[in-house]
Amino acid sequence: MATIYDVAKRAGVSIATVSAVINRSSFVSPGLTKRVNQAVIDLEYSINPIAHALQTRRTQTIGMLIPDVGAPDPFYGQVVRGAEDVLRREGYLLFLGHTYNDVQEQSRYLAAFRARLVDGVLLFQAPGEDKELDRLIESGKPMVFVGRIPEGIEADVVATDIKAGTCLAIDHLLRSGHTRIGMVLVSASMSVHANRLAGWHASLRKKRMAADEAYVVSGERSVEAGERAAIQLLSLPEPPTAIFTDNLVLTTGVLRALKDRGVDCPSQMELVSSDDAEFLDVFHPPVSTVVQPSYELGAEAAEQLLRRIRSPKLAAKKTILKPTLRVRM
């Protein structure tokens, strides 16, 4: 196996010059750079990633944690794609893990990321106390909180305006004549859950309507949870005539419950869901959506993390992206 000494000898340069070319750590003339690169190719030389990481304290890797890909909702997949496209362009590899909103899984992955010397972390934070997260923050590890805004932490954040998106959905349903609007939410989504409720209250308050908490059902992020929530809402003395759901996973469960009970959508129950998917354009019944800029969310989070890696002393930055409403009839 070729060594850096072999490359230097083949190219007729010093070891320091080979190192400068490979690591792009200082200027080397185009002629010498070409000779070094050709020697690398001829000798099939490759850098020992462990030794290189110990020397430079950089691994060109990023750790990312999301709750769950969660078919049929493409939201998290699009976020990951946006982040990965940016990181790939800059020569980084992305390590991806799923926490399922479980803080112990989050802690397990963060410990693994720390042990593997990732250069930074993109995190959809799980609820609960996490000493491993505290340890990373205290160490100054570059990190961007994605989608969920942490409490009591001065940190880089990239998220969407959940309250504004919820208002878009509820305002649309109110304009359509609905006065009893149900909410099916994920309880473990932290700031997202709080802002969903804030948006619901704000829209009803504008119309001087009382907010009945019986119309809000929160649970896990699963089809089964969506189905149970819809059954609970349909069992109310005055069931809602419209439902807003947190994501397309819950929406699937709600639709299953409506079908099983013979409730026609949208004539008897109108649905609006957060998140969007192309298949909904040809799907029946029609489901209007609050479109979150998921790809842009991931891309901006990655860009922000790279800025933090390059400039650790920058002030913390919070970026909030705006959602839009897509009405399907």
Rg (CA), the chain: 25
53 located within any domain: no
327 located within any domain: no
Q: What is the identity of the amino acid at 310?
A: R
Instruction: Determine contact, residues 200/211, Cβ cutoff 8 Å.
Output: yes
Task: Report the CATH number at residue 29.
Answer: 1.10.260.40
Does residue 117 share a domain with residue 210? no
Predicted TM-score (pTM) of the model is 0.83
Does residue 277 share a domain with residue 189? yes
Q: What is the identity of the amino acid at 2?
A: A
Task: Count how many Cα atoms sit within 13 Å of the Cα of residue 186 in the half-sphere of its side chain.
Answer: 26
Our measurement of the distance from residue 301's CA atom to the centroid of its chain's CA atoms, rounded to an integer in Å, reads 9
Instruction: Determine contact, residues 40/47, Cβ cutoff 8 Å.
Output: no
Does residue 135 share a domain with residue 69? yes
CA distance 66 to 68: 6
Does residue 167 share a domain with residue 122? no
Does residue 200 share a domain with residue 153? no
Does residue 132 share a domain with residue 42? no
CA distance 152 to 43: 53
Q: Which two tokens stand for residue 275?
A: 């998140």
pLDDT by residue, tens only, the chain of 329 residues: 788 889 999 999 999 998 888 877 789 899 999 999 999 989 888 876 655 555 556 789 999 999 998 667 899 999 999 999 999 999 999 999 999 999 999 999 999 999 999 999 999 999 999 999 999 999 999 999 999 999 888 999 999 999 999 999 999 999 999 999 999 999 988 899 999 999 999 999 999 999 999 999 999 999 999 999 999 999 999 999 999 999 999 999 999 999 999 999 999 999 999 999 999 999 999 999 999 999 999 999 999 999 999 999 999 999 999 999 999 98
Task: Report the CATH number at residue 220.
Answer: 3.40.50.2300
54 located within any domain: no
Give the residue numbers spanning the domain of 115.
Answer: 61-160+294-322
Does residue 194 share a domain with residue 123? no
Number of domains in the chain: 3
The residues facing 288 across adjacent strands are 272
Does residue 113 share a domain with residue 208? no
56 located within any domain: no
